[in-house]
A and B are shown apart, each in its own frame.
Chain A
Amino acid sequence: MSHHHEDEFRLHTPEFSDLNKKLDRRNFLTKTSLGLGALAVGSLIAGAKGFGGTLSKPAVEGSSDLEEEILRALPHIAPKAKRVVYLFMSGGPSQFETFDYKPKLVTMAGQNLPDSVRKGQRLTGMSANQSALPMVPSIYKFNRHGKNQTWISELLPHTAQVVDDLCIIKSIYSEAINHDPAITFFQTGNQLPGRPSIGSWISYGLGSDNQNLPTFIVLVSKNGQKDQPLYARLWGNGFLPSKHQGVQFRSGKDPVLFLNNPEGYDGKDRKEMLEYLSKLNKLQNDQFGDPEVDARIAQYEMAYHMQTSVPEVMNTADEPDEVFEMYGPDSRDSGTYAANCLLARKLLEKDVKFVQLYHQGWDQHGSLPKGIAQQCKSTDQATAALIKDLKRRGLLEDTLVIWGGEFGRTVYSQGKLSADDYGRDHHPRCFTMWMAGAGVKSGISYGETDDFSYNIVRDPVHVHDFQATMMHLMGIDHERLTYKFQGRRFRLTDVHGKVVRDILA
């Protein structure tokens, strides 16, 4: 270690020298016995390092050059959207009771799903052995709304008010038929866990617009039915550098743990301490070149910034009552979907690039009428309020809002069909999502399903197409943002995806 370092790390203070002088029995044994071993190990490591130094270093440098080259080219397209808020309706909301109006089903209620429609397509194990597949129309009424007279279910009265701002896509389809692969597919472009999530790709590709808050923030509402689990890997960074993983804000008082200073510490020299720690970490990193050390340094810095920025953004005292009324009564109860929508708006106002909300409980295999009414009740008002609020603040101008689940539900009833009760099984072949705001056409419906909402008859949009479109709006050509890992270049859309040009404004 050079003299320069010794000065920097203050190794010559009297306290430190005193410690050094205390050569007691334990210290003596440790130093002498381990010392010999350490000598041996040291020479081994030095040898290995010398060997690795010649072989692996060019490769490492080469790959980082490639990364830099890819990142330097960004953005590829002048972006329309600066931020994204993705309202993920986990569980698979039924398209029948929300957006995909199928009046012809009323006359066919109770009839078996025709084979000519199903065409032998797979069903889940939950309903494949049912003796009959009786079709069931929505128990809820639909009404026309907005300047284009769009049909919307009576369960979504608030969303219906903002329909002129929405671009409803009725022809999304997925490949996975069960929750985890389907949601992983949506989040990472692949059904198997391990790839980076959308938000991580965006953070990696475009960086941050606010150094005081994470680029990718996740909010999971506490009032959704926890029927299907969510895992942190859904907002994980996969093989991208760790600092791009989504940061989950917990519901309740302390959205991020351990941000407060511990008792008895006033935090005055926090900055100095972190700088010192960062120097030590960098020293370590010079030796090993471990990207996780970089991530650790970045996380300490972010945590320091968040000590002030998070309490500020969480503070809703300045919000007038009118705002809480708009988002609904739940919005005063921290951690609910409504409160998260309000928080999302505040984060977007601070230019957080990617905010993702999750609301669970849309998996109505049975008692669908009751379940979906409850789900709509706890999300509809706040969702519409978010749109209205962003719009009047001028933020819908450059914010993309996305609403949708991981798949849709079947036209036939799972379990017994009675006059006022039925269930619906998973259906990945078509379902509805909507987008709103920056760069997408407003007040339109795109794509069409058949009379059974079983097959798509017009303008299908695959999950990868949706991802490609979202990235396009953010200024990224999905085919050009790649990351080399284990010898292969990966991208969010794998080797697929087409931008859905027809919905671009």
Chain B
Amino acid sequence: MILLDIITFFGRLHPLIVHLPIGFLLLAVIFDLVSYFPKYQVLKSAVSFTLFAGFCSAVIACIFGYLLSLTGDYDTTLLRHHKNSGIGIALFSGILFLLTHPKVRLIIPVSSRIFSALSVCLLGLMSYSGHLGGNLTHGSDYLSLAELTKTKREKPVSAEQAFIFEDVVQPILEKRCSQCHQGGKLKGNLSVESLTSLKKGGKNGPAVVAGKLAESELFKRITLDPAHKEFMPSDGKTPLTKTETEIIRWWIEKAMATEGKKLAELKGNEIIKPQIASFLGLGGLVPNEKETEISQKINPAIPLTLDNNLVINLRNSGFEARVMLQKPVMLDITLPSNSGKKGSELRKLLSPLAKNIIWLNLSENGLTDNDFDFLKDCTNLEKLRVEKNPVSDAFSNYLSKMPHLEALNLNETKITESSLTQLRKLPSLKRIYTFGTSIKGPEDGVINLGSK
């Protein structure tokens, strides 16, 4: 919730209140004019009161308008004219009201026709001021002939054919910035309307400096910490997505903030092409827009729950059992070295929770191939350490059904080259550690199978 102070609150009522004097004064002028027809002559007597109502509401509208002008960054010239003409209307309508009073009429004799001419002038002044007010809120091109004849930009057919400024950068700025930085409302004196106005910048210097990110105020502001008071867009408006920021960065830094150039004409465009394609909805990279969410890839085969007693039992038998995640239950189990445990005991203790074991460390326990029988059940293993055990090539048979195994530590075992062929077939295996074995490979024994 945004708490507004009272000034802002009443200020923002101005566009609402302002329609009261418009209505009243218009009605007063209409009453006055139609009273020349005998049929409506009776309305002449209503002019005085209607003018009074118009005058009062005009004064209130002026006050609220003034309050609004304190809160927003508006174009100063426009604002000044609007303010003066608005006050003018209030004064003018007050004078007209006084002129309807018989006693005033005795002192200043004004004929009905002159009075009517004056009230038409009031109408003119009101139109002028209303026009300025509209420009302030919506921008001068909101309701214009240009708007009527404007044709919609053709959507580019591919990222290469897109004009970097016109098709990509400008729409981003239009979407994220134009609300406060275009048309009549120029906060910080910055307009994002054209490249020229961006380079001219606002009161904190140029918004965009070709090739120089550090000097480009616009880029600096959109990449600040969102909690920073100078962060843009301000006031909790939707910030630029990562893709959009990356595009603007590339445009300023690498494309030297050009306009009228297609992406294909620009050097080094390969880097930014996927982002631009994604921005234009032409496929390509699908960015992770919801960055606050923690994205984890978790194997769906891991059971969601586990009998806690099994873990307690395991711990009481001398194992270290670390819970890596609660849901699903992911376990990291370590058998302290030289524990003296053998195959049958391992099977008994580990098999009931085999599917929950994700990391397993059985290093330095004098285990031989036959002790690993239980491993067949551990189909969700991701990391397995059996280093410093006298295991041989027969051991790799137990691993054939481990689709998720990523890292395997075989340091200081009796494993030989022949196991490697079989291990390479494992779909997820990325790293095999073979330091201190007979396998000839990299000096540190780390065999990288690359990403698959």
Q: Is B271 on the interface with A (CB-CB < 8 A)?
A: no
Q: Is A82 a contact partner of B213 (Cβ separation < 8 A)? A: no
List of A residues within 8 angstroms of B134 by Cβ: none
Closest to B387 in A: A394
Q: Is B347 on the interface with A (CB-CB < 8 A)?
A: no
Distance in angstroms between the alpha carbons of A79 and B411 in the assembled complex: 24
List of B residues within 8 angstroms of A76 by Cβ: 294
Quick one: which of A340-398 are within 8 Å of B by CB?
351, 388, 391-394, 397-398
Q: Is A23 on the interface with B (CB-CB < 8 A)?
A: no
Q: Is B83 on the interface with A (CB-CB < 8 A)?
A: no
Q: Is B387 a contact partner of A210 (Cβ separation < 8 A)? A: no
Question: Contacts A392-B435, A392-B445; is A75 near B213 (CB within 8 Å)?
Answer: no
Q: Is A450 on the interface with B (CB-CB < 8 A)?
A: yes
Q: Tell me how far the C-beta of B321 lies from the nearest C-beta in chain A, rounded to whole angstroms.
A: 10
List of B residues within 8 angstroms of A397 by Cβ: 383, 407, 409, 431
Q: Which of B66-74, B261-269, B325-333, B415-423 contacts A (4 or more CB under 8 A)?
A: B325-333
Q: Is B320 on the interface with A (CB-CB < 8 A)?
A: yes
Closest to B328 in A: A78
Question: Contacts A82-B332, A209-B322; is A77 near B214 (CB within 8 Å)?
Answer: no
Quick one: which of A58-77 are within 8 Å of B by CB?
73, 75-77
Distance in angstroms between the alpha carbons of A457 and B211 in the assembled complex: 13
Q: Tell me how far the C-beta of A352 lies from the nearest C-beta in chain B, rounded to whole angstroms.
A: 12
Distance in angstroms between the alpha carbons of A397 and B409 in the assembled complex: 10
Q: Is B324 a contact partner of A351 (Cβ separation < 8 A)? A: no
Q: Is B411 a contact partner of A477 (Cβ separation < 8 A)? A: no
Distance in angstroms between the alpha carbons of A496 and B435 in the assembled complex: 43
Q: Is B7 on the interface with A (CB-CB < 8 A)?
A: no
Quick one: which of B290-337 are within 8 Å of A by CB?
291, 294, 296, 298, 320, 322-326, 330, 332, 334
Q: Is B214 a contact partner of A393 (Cβ separation < 8 A)? A: no
List of A residues within 8 angstroms of B444 by Cβ: 388, 391-392
List of A residues within 8 angstroms of B385 by Cβ: 394
Question: Contacts A398-B359, A477-B294, A501-B291; is A392 near B334 (CB within 8 Å)?
Answer: no
List of A residues within 8 angstroms of B291 by Cβ: 501
Q: Is A458 on the interface with B (CB-CB < 8 A)?
A: yes
List of B residues within 8 angstroms of A82 by Cβ: 322, 332, 359
Q: Is A150 on the interface with B (CB-CB < 8 A)?
A: no
Total residue contacts A-B, CB cutoff 8 A: 64
List of B residues within 8 angstroms of A237 by Cβ: none
Q: Is A455 a contact partner of B407 (Cβ separation < 8 A)? A: no
Q: Is A437 on the interface with B (CB-CB < 8 A)?
A: no
Q: Is A77 a contact partner of B383 (Cβ separation < 8 A)? A: no
The number of residues on chain B lying at the interface, defined by a beta carbon within 8 Å of a beta carbon of chain A, is 31
Q: Is B294 a contact partner of A75 (Cβ separation < 8 A)? A: no
Q: Tell me how far the C-beta of B224 lies from the nearest C-beta in chain A, rounded to whole angstroms.
A: 9
Distance in angstroms between the alpha carbons of A79 and B383 in the assembled complex: 13
Closest to B297 in A: A78
Distance in angstroms between the alpha carbons of A442 and B180 in the assembled complex: 43
Contact with B along A194-209 (1 / 0, CB 8 A): 0000000000000001
Q: Is A73 a contact partner of B326 (Cβ separation < 8 A)? A: yes
Q: Is A392 a contact partner of B433 (Cβ separation < 8 A)? A: yes
Closest to A495 in B: B227
Q: Is B285 on the interface with A (CB-CB < 8 A)?
A: no
List of B residues within 8 angstroms of A210 by Cβ: 320
Q: Is B296 a contact partner of A78 (Cβ separation < 8 A)? A: yes
Q: Is B446 on the interface with A (CB-CB < 8 A)?
A: yes
Most central of B322, B334, B433, B444 by chain A CB within 10 Å = B322
Contact with B along A458-472 (1 / 0, CB 8 A): 100010000000001
Q: Tell me how far the C-beta of A476 lies from the nearest C-beta in chain B, rounded to whole angstroms.
A: 11
Q: Is A415 on the interface with B (CB-CB < 8 A)?
A: no
Contact with B along A433-476 (1 / 0, CB 8 A): 00000000000000000100001011000100000000010010
Selected from A394, A462, A496, the residue in CB contact (under 8 A) with B409 is: A394
Q: Tell me how far the C-beta of A458 lies from the nearest C-beta in chain B, rounded to whole angstroms.
A: 7
Q: Is A209 a contact partner of B320 (Cβ separation < 8 A)? A: yes
Closest to B444 in A: A392
Distance in angstroms between the alpha carbons of A53 and B323 in the assembled complex: 37
Q: Is A458 a contact partner of B213 (Cβ separation < 8 A)? A: yes
List of A residues within 8 angstroms of B433 by Cβ: 392-394
List of A residues within 8 angstroms of B445 by Cβ: 392
Q: Is A78 a contact partner of B411 (Cβ separation < 8 A)? A: no
Report which A residues bind B (CB closer than 8 A). 73, 75-79, 82, 209-210, 351, 388, 391-394, 397-398, 450, 455, 457-458, 462, 472, 475, 477, 496, 501
Known: A394-B411, A472-B294; 8 extra A-B contacts, CB below 8 A, are: A78-B325, A210-B320, A351-B320, A391-B446, A392-B445, A392-B446, A394-B385, A397-B407
Q: Which 5 A-B pairs rank lowest in CB-CB distance, beginning with the nearest? A: A392-B444, A394-B409, A394-B433, A392-B435, A78-B325
A-B contact pairs, 19 of them (CB 8 A): A73-B326, A75-B323, A75-B324, A75-B326, A78-B325, A79-B324, A82-B322, A209-B334, A210-B320, A391-B444, A392-B433, A392-B444, A392-B445, A397-B407, A458-B213, A472-B294, A475-B324, A475-B325, A501-B291
